[in-house]
Amino acid sequence: MLPGFFDSMVALITRTSTDLPPDVRAAMASALATEEPSTRAGQALTVIAQNIDQAESCEGPICQDTGMPTFEVKVPLGANQIWMRHQIREAVAEATRLGKLRPNSVDSITGENSGNNLGPGTPIIHFDQWEAPEIEVKLILKGGGCENTNAQYSLPSELDHLGRADRNLEGVRKCILHAVWKAQGKGCSPGAVGVCVGGDRTSGYLHAKEQLFRTLDDTNPDPRLAEIESVVMDEANRLTVGPMGFSGKTSLIGCKIGALNRLPASFFVSVAYDCWAFRRLGVRMDATTGAITSWLYREGSAPSQPMLDPAVVAAGFPRTGREISLEAPISEAQIRSLKVGDVVLISGRMFTGRDAVHAHLMKHEPPVSLQGAVLYHCGPVVSKADGAWKVLAAGPTTSIREEPYQAEILERYGVRVVIGKGGMGPKTLAGLKESGGVYLNAVGGAAQFYARCIERVDDVSLMEFGTPEAMWHLQVRDFPAIVTMDSHGNSLHRDVEDASGRILATLLPRP
Ligand code: SF4
């Protein structure tokens, strides 16, 4: 067989998870250059840039959600695809063991995490034959937060703020803008969209995701689609959704559109949204040895150009002097004094809790007292060495999934601070007011940055839910986040969504 194939796949997975490709780095550098450093958007982009450099330098996951591994493989005639599929699966399990991928494969019936990213449908591997003599493997790691913001439209359709989207390219433009507006900060904006016009529901989503294998700076060979891509980039960035939905100048870093033939009765527009942590790489390999002969999307295997001066990375959170320090447990009076826009630095004990923990707490008492506690929506990447747990990556997960539970948990258990990303809805906003709580938005995807704010892991509860879903007891120091929903009924997320919706309504129809 191919003696180097397995190692090549581990190298591809590792680099994809830890080192953003140059086209994405360039897009994020441009976004950073457009924002004032002291604004919320500027601070968020600085943290993102720090995180990108930190991930590359320690070979740690850029984001703790290492996503659904999706491989696109091209092989010459006669290649043994059965053996290669097995080797790719083994490489995914090895990368998981090494902490380069988070265990992300969950049995949909039992909720059990397989622990090694293997299971029915995980990873996704597509094979194609081609006439070239070598093997090509492309990989994209697309996380759940951005996957959940994907959208599929069946035209004609009535869209908020945009009116009717008809079965033409103007309708397509409206659908894409609507999807970007709807995503707000939930998919860790600024993001990129892959779009498919046509196909059926299944092939449409697949083709939309395949568009994400194009580089952000390429030009669509179809001039009609190139025109729409350019228009959408311009208009989406006038929406002022901004980084993390904080409001700002950059909401979208790429728009890539493909088209498939459709049935006469169907007209789907499928939008695959990817976050700023746009992890996509590829390799070409010698078909007789499996050794890597070249990398795709980057120049060789040379180290990446840093995003920032190392001194800026080492300085940590870009402070303005107006930050408010809080030590957990936190009192109601402290919470009531906070308002939307405040930047806080949290120290002390913090508990993680996401989907499984929230569902559990609706029926069971918490394993520890949560009076005055900080609850972090986070599923970290962890490893155990010499009997001690270490957090390798720990950014926030999308909070809106906990909307059905959060208000009740605040009231029942006395939680004072909820940290996550993307914001929450009216039920939680009312609960924060009623119970005296606050919602803090951390910078989504900044998993290396936040891991460095964690001094130690004190304990873990509910491990039966798997490592991402367990309740981790963390000791943190100066963990920075922004108040985006306060205890007085104010929500930055609601305000930005309303303001960007009003702008959306002003975008003129195009002939
Ligand atoms: S950057 Fe945000 S949306 Fe992307 S994988 Fe990470 S948490 Fe999910």
Interval 349-385: pLDDT, tens: 999 999 999 999 999 999 999 999 999 999 999 999 8
Average of per-residue pLDDT across 389-409: 96
Residue 36 CA, chain-centre distance (Å), reads: 24
Alpha carbon nearest to ligand 1 atom 5, residue: 143
- Confirm if 364 and 422 have CB atoms less than 8 A apart: no
By alpha-carbon position, which residue is closest to atom 7 of ligand 1?
A: 445
pLDDT at 1: 85
Quick one: average pLDDT of 27-54?
A: 96
- Binned at pLDDT 50, 70 and 90, residue 510 comes out as low
Per-residue burial over 362-377, b = 16 or more CB atoms within 10 Å of its CB, e = otherwise: eeeebbeebebbbbbb
Q: What whole-number distance in Å separates Cα of residue 487 and Cα of residue 180?
A: 29
Distance of alpha carbon 35 from alpha carbon 41, whole angstroms: 7
For ligand 1, is residue 67 a contact (CB within 6 Å)?
yes
- pLDDT above 70 covers a percentage of the chain that reads 99
Counting ligand 1 atoms within 8 A of each CB, the residue from 20, 64, 65, 419 with the most, and so the one to mutate, is 65
Give the pLDDT confidence score for residue 404 in this predicted structure: 97
* SS3 state of residue 230: helix
CA-nearest residue for atom 1, ligand 1, is 445
- What pLDDT is recorded for position 381? 93
E strands, 31-190, are 68-75, 124-129, 135-142, 151-154, 157-159, 163-165
How would residue 453 be classed by pLDDT, with cut points 50, 70 and 90?
very high
Expressed in angstroms and rounded, the spacing between residue 508 Cα and the centre of ligand 1 is 32
Tell me: the pLDDT tens digits for 276-309?
Answer: 999 999 999 999 999 999 999 998 778 899 999 9
**188: CA distance to ligand 1 center in Å?**
6
User: At 456, which helix (H) or strand (E)?
Assistant: strand 454-461
Is 468's C-beta closer than 6 angstroms to any atom of ligand 1? no
- Cα–ligand 1 centroid distance for 307 (angstroms): 19
Q: What is the pLDDT of residues 416-433, one digit of tens each?
A: 999 999 999 999 999 999
C-alpha to C-alpha distance for 54 and 51, rounded to whole angstroms: 5
Rounded CA-CA distance 139/134 in Å is 17
Coil, helix or strand for 240?
coil
More confident residue, 508 or 237: 237
pLDDT value at position 511? 55
Which amino acid is residue 490, in one-letter code? N
Cα of 345 from ligand 1 centre, angstroms: 22
Pocket lining: 444 vs ligand 1, CB cutoff 6 Å: yes
Q: Is 183 in the pocket of ligand 1 (CB under 6 A)?
A: no
Residue 142 has pLDDT above 70, yes or no: yes
Q: Check residue 160 and report its DSSP letter.
A: T
408 burial (CB, 10 Å; 0-12 / 13-18 / 19+) is: middle
N- to C-terminal Cα separation, the chain = 57
**106-134 tens-digit pLDDT:** 999 999 999 999 999 999 999 999 999 99
Q: What is the pLDDT of residue 300?
A: 79
In which region does residue 299 sit, left (phi positive, over 0), alpha (psi from -120 to 50) or beta (all else)?
beta
Q: In the chain, count H helices and then E strands.
A: 15, 20
Nearest ligand 1 atom to alpha carbon 142? 5
Tokens of 289: 């040895």
pLDDT of residue 303: 85
Q: Tens digit of pLDDT for each residue in 161-214?
A: 999 999 999 999 999 999 999 999 999 999 999 999 999 999 999 999 999 999
Q: Which atom of ligand 1 is nearest to the CA of 64?
A: 6
Non-local CB neighbours of 221 within 8 Å, separated by 6+ positions? none
Q: Tell whether ligand 1 has an atom less than 6 A from the beta carbon of residue 445.
A: yes
CA of 122 to the centre of ligand 1 (A): 18
| Contact by Cβ (8 Å): 175, 257 | no
Query: What's the mean pLDDT when you consider all of the chain?
Result: 96
Integer CA distances (angstroms), 313 to 23, 39, 41, 306, 309, in order: 21, 18, 17, 10, 7
Q: CA dihedral in degrees (128, 79, 292, 48; nearest 10)?
A: 30
Cross-sheet strand order for the sheet of 279-285:
124-129, 68-75, 135-142, 279-285, 292-296
Residue whose CA lies nearest to ligand 1 atom number 4: 275
Model confidence at 16, in pLDDT bands (50, 70, 90)?
Answer: very high
Between CA 183 and CA 220 the distance in angstroms is: 24
Q: Does the pTM exceed 0.75?
A: yes
Distance 142 CA to ligand 1 centre (A): 8
Q: In this predicted structure, what is the pLDDT of residue 82?
A: 97
